[in-house]
Structure 1
Amino acid sequence: MAPQRMGSVAALWRHPIKSHGREALNSVTLTKGQTMPWDRRWAVTHDRSRDRDGWDVCRNFMIGAITPGLAGLWARLDTATATVTLSHVDLGDLTFRPDDSDDIARFLEWVAPLTGDGPQPRGIVSAGDRGMTDSDFPSLSLMSTASHAAVADACGAALEQTRWRGNVWLDGFAAWDEFNWYGRSLRIGDVVLDIGDPIERCAHTRANPVTGQRDLDTVAVLRDRFGHTDFGVYATVAQGGTIALGDTAEVI
């Protein structure tokens, strides 16, 4: 059977602060060569971070792979005021401005119960429109609902899509077909996304996105059942425009 080349947008997510919550969107306007707007705009440094302006590798920041408790955070962003509200089942809500030094101090005190004995949060830095993506280039992450269903079936347990921290979720494609798209593009309305490499997965995906507790070894399932540790693919915006839930997605 030939690979399915048409699908649709099932979900859109942004993560205003790297590894500190996610927010569902109904639509988003993308710009050529940039990340999803406000995605990973900020990142939290720790007591072992090096001082460096702009983008840096993920280990320079507080991340869920090392601090699983962060997986239980959700976020809401007011773009007009650059204000973030973080929510946690045990900690409640915190509304603050990541660019305000007084507010950063409040955030550091609020988030401390989630950090355990590992690296401790020290401050917040911004990558601006570049976004503090895991990739060393401005990227979006594309995820397939069919691939997720295949992993959930292999786990034999309910599996939350939010574990994967994807930006654009796609319906209607065969499981793992996205790994055949390298060197091709995905068209969604006026938007064209150039498809890059698969995304190698880490321990962050083992943590439950509600409790922050590691309860499923997703990396081992990927390795043992599918012969790799990848989920999703990186993409770059080759042509900008607006995409929304339900829009048709076509591999070209």
Structure 2
Amino acid sequence: MTALLPATVAALYRHPVKGFTPETVAEAALDAGQAFPGDRLRAIEIGPSGFDPDAPAHISKMRFTVLARLPELARVRTQWDAATDTLALSAPGAPDLSVRLSDPADARRLEAWLTDVLGEAATAPLRLLDGDGHRFMDDPAGAVSVLNLASVRDLSQRLGVAVDPLRFRANVWVEGWPAWVENDWSGRALALGEARLRVIKPIVRCAATHVDPTTGTRDIDVVSALHNLYGHRWCGLYLSVQTGGRVRPGDRAELI
């Protein structure tokens, strides 16, 4: 196997409320057996979703407000303050809103605001769900997700159109690996900064990647492009944390 050149962490992202704005973070303290800090802590169901807070389990993303179901959701901008558990929201044509997510009255305000923003697309009552330790992942194996930026660039070049890496909603962006080399890494050990992780599997992509993360319009059929160009629907990796540690942009990202 050809030795890999040194690669580094290019950026870190969390998604505090499933389906909403990715947020950059300056560092992440990964813990063994745990998900990426601040990621998919809450979700908004298009109810009823069947989620049971007393027995939380994985539920299909299509029961929540996500881009695969509601592309216009990308036009909603959110910013979470972890210290106060406050979420600031804005959307074209709507008043800005700030809510404390743990406050039941504020949760109702958020649900009403989003119902107005989505209009007819809100086909059932919306309800904010708190995982209280459960993470609302697309896949139960998806504790941490990693994106190889070279793979995204290769896809862009073959399509002849720029593909924004934000379409893939990954936690860790890596620069320096050859395109698509990661597809053969299932079961391998990976170092990200101080942390050690194990690759679970490549991420199978869905219609959420078809949505422009700025305009909220479906403009590129990424899933068909992956299948037609490469014979698979993968882009990125799911990993589990084996040994905790801090990760920052600029840290190493390498097989060990």
Same fold (TM over 0.5): yes
**Residue 13 of structure 1 aligns with which residue?**
13
User: SS at 1:130's partner residue?
Assistant: coil
Choose which of 75, 98, 102 in structure 2 pairs with 1:72.
75
Match of 1:109 in 2: 112
1:141–1:80 distance in 2 versus 1, CA, 3 Å:
same
- Spell out structure 1 runs of 4+ moving beyond 6 A: none
Amino acid at match of 1:101: P
Shift in alpha-carbon separation, 1:251–1:89, aligned structure 2, 3 A: farther
Q: Quick check: which one's strand share is greater?
A: 1
1:55 to partner: Cα distance: 3.6
C-alpha separation in 1, matches of 2:4 and 2:249:
19
- 1:189 partnered with 2:193: yes
Paired position in structure 1 for 2:41 = 41
Query: 1:83-116 CA deviation, whole Å, 9 max, x = no partner?
Result: 1223445546432122222212221222222364
Query: Is the deviation greater in 43-52 or in 225-234?
Result: 43-52
Distance 1:87 1:237, change over 3 A: farther
CA-to-partner distance for each residue in 1:14-60, whole Å, 9 max, x for gaps? 00000022101111111110101110000111134224122432233
**Relative to structure 1, is the Cα distance of residues 87 and 230 closer, same or farther in structure 2, using a 3 angstrom cutoff?**
farther
What is the alpha-carbon root mean square deviation over aligned residues? 1.9
What is the DSSP-based 3-state SS (H/G/I as helix, E as strand, rest coil) of the residue aligned with 1:129?
Answer: coil
Shift of 1:167: 0.3
CA distance in 2, matches of 1:64, 1:215: 13
Q: Structure 1: how far apart are the matches of 2:51 and 2:6?
A: 45
Report the more deviating stretch, 165-174 or 180-189: 180-189
Give 1:179's match in structure 2, choosing from 183, 197, 201.
Answer: 183
Distance (whole Å) between structure 2 residues aligned to residue 79 and residue 67 of structure 1:
26
Bigger Cα displacement from structure 2, 180-189 vs 8-17:
180-189
Query: Do the aligned residues in 1 keep the contact of 2:141 with 2:200 (CA within 8 Å)?
Result: no
Runs of at least 5 residues in structure 2 that lack an aligned partner in the other structure: none
**Residues 171-191 of structure 1, C-alpha deviations (whole Å, 9 max, x = no match):** 000001111211111112320
The answer for unaligned runs of 5 or more in structure 1 is none
TM-score normalised to structure 2 length? 0.91
Q: How does 1:71-220 map to 2 (within 5 A)?
A: 71-89=74-92, 91=94, 93-112=96-115, 113-114=117-118, 116-117=120-121, 119-137=123-141, 139-220=143-224
Counterpart secondary structure, 1:6: coil
Distance between the aligned counterparts of 1:55 and 1:91, measured in 2?
34
Contact 2:142 2:238 in 1 (8 A): no
Check 1:159–1:44 CA distance in 2 against 1; reply closer, same or farther (3 A cut): same
In percent, how many aligned pairs have the same letter? 34
Is 1:224 paired with 2:203? no
TM-score normalised per structure 1 = 0.92
* Contact 2:183/2:234 (8 A) holds in 1: no
Deviation at residue 136 of structure 1 after TM alignment: 1.7
Are the aligned partners of 2:62 and 2:68 in contact in 1 as well (CA < 8 Å)?
no
The 3 A distance-change label for structure 1 pair 64 and 246 is same
**Equivalent residues of 1:69, 1:115 under 8 A apart:** no
231-240 or 132-141, larger mean C-alpha shift: 132-141
